[in-house]
């Protein structure tokens, strides 16, 4: 299901935490070859300090002609080792974009604006928890104002297990009153094996 969802988007975004822990490929290889769309999603990594290893699968797949060129978003302010890391990653095949930081993280509105300028019209944010919470926080901040919402649809998978602190939570305390959180409209719920998958749409504010 995740690979089908990936195939429906121009780009797939993860944080550097996920890139380091999972070494993901962010492609659609699990779709049967006969029905696999030829178009691959663009892999995007939020990586303020350019920590992505050059032997990661995203870069090696690109070098071997098995994946699109990964785009890395990093901090526009200099840090020690920045120019070395830039050269190494560019030589390894990455494209690097520079955005400023807000509250210690890369600015999501600036990332989305740059992606739009680069022709990306649909983006799937695959994780991890820190990145998903940043996008949800942007959706909350843009709720009720006249800019387009930063998030339009959320896919929630519930598995029959406890994950403790490893789960994604909508941060407690980030919205003090009911009217400050976006309204969610249920689209569909489906059972996939033992998981329940629910799609909801974020409605525009009043
Ligand atoms: N169950 C699932 O479907 C699923 C999906 C994906 C991942 N995961 C799991 O999630 C875990 C990783 O999650 P994580 O929360 O530790 O890391 P993450 O969300 O993948 O990455 C977080 C890092 O991304 C960078 N970043 C840059 N701009 C950001 C922004 N605006 N907002 C948030 N982060 C930004 C920060 O590092 P810098 O400051 O260095 O840039 C931050 O520490 C992995 O173990 C993976 O297995 C699970």
From the CB of 105, is ligand 1 less than 6 Å away?
yes
Alpha helices in 9-81 (DSSP H): 16-22, 57-63
pLDDT for position 182? 78
- How confident is the model over 87-104, as a mean pLDDT? 96
Whether the per-residue pLDDT at 68 is higher than 60: the answer is: yes
Report the candidate in 148, 78, 74 with the shortest Cα–Cα distance to residue 116: 148
- For residue 52, count CB atoms less than 10 angstroms from its CB and return exposed for 0-12, middle for 13-18, buried for 19 or more: buried
Structure tokens at 84: 């070395």
Distance 141 CA to ligand 1 centre (A): 20
Q: Where in the chain is the domain with CATH 3.40.430.10?
A: 1-127
More confident residue, 115 or 206: 115
Level-2 CATH architecture, domain 1-127 = 3-Layer(aba) Sandwich (3.40)
In whole angstroms, give the CA distance from residue 54 to residue 200: 37
Question: What pLDDT, on a 0 to 100 scale, did the predictor assign at position 145?
Answer: 59
What pLDDT score was predicted for residue 206?
Answer: 47
Question: What pLDDT digit, counting tens, does each position of 135-183 carry?
Answer: 988 887 776 555 567 899 999 999 999 888 777 776 645 556 666 677 8
pLDDT tens digit sequence for 121-136: 999 999 899 999 899 8
Please tell me the distance between residue 16's alpha carbon and the centre of ligand 1 in angstroms.
Answer: 6
Write out the two tokens for 180.
């400050």
Give the separation between CA 94 and CA 86, rounded to whole angstroms. Answer: 9
Whose alpha carbon is nearest atom 9 of ligand 1?
128
The token duo for 206 is: 């009043």
> Mean pLDDT, to the nearest integer, of 190-204?
92
Average pLDDT over residues 181-190: 90
């Amino acid at each position: 299901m995740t690979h089908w969802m990936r195939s429906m988007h121009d780009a797939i975004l993860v944080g550097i935490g996920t890139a380091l822990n999972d070494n993901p490929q962010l492609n659609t290889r699990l779709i049967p070859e006969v029905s696999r769309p030829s178009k691959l999603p663009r892999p995007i990594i939020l990586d303020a300090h350019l920590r992505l290893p050059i032997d990661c699968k995203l870069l090696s797949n690109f070098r071997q002609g098995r994946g699109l060129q990964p785009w890395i978003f990093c901090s526009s302010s200099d840090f020690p080792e920045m120019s070395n890391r830039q050269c190494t990653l560019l030589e390894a095949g990455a494209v690097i974009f520079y955005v400023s930081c807000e509250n210690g993280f890369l600015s999501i509105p600036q990332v989305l604006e740059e992606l739009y300028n680069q022709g990306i019209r649909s983006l799937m944010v695959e994780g991890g928890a820190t990145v998903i919470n940043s996008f949800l926080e942007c959706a909350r901040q843009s709720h009720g104002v006249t800019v387009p919402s930063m998030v339009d649809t959320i896919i929630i998978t519930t598995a029959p297990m406890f994950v403790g602190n490893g789960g994604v939570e909508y941060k407690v305390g980030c919205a003090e009153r009911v009217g400050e959180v976006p309204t969610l409209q249920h689209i569909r719920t489906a059972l996939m094996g033992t998981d329940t998958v629910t799609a909801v749409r974020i409605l525009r504010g009043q």
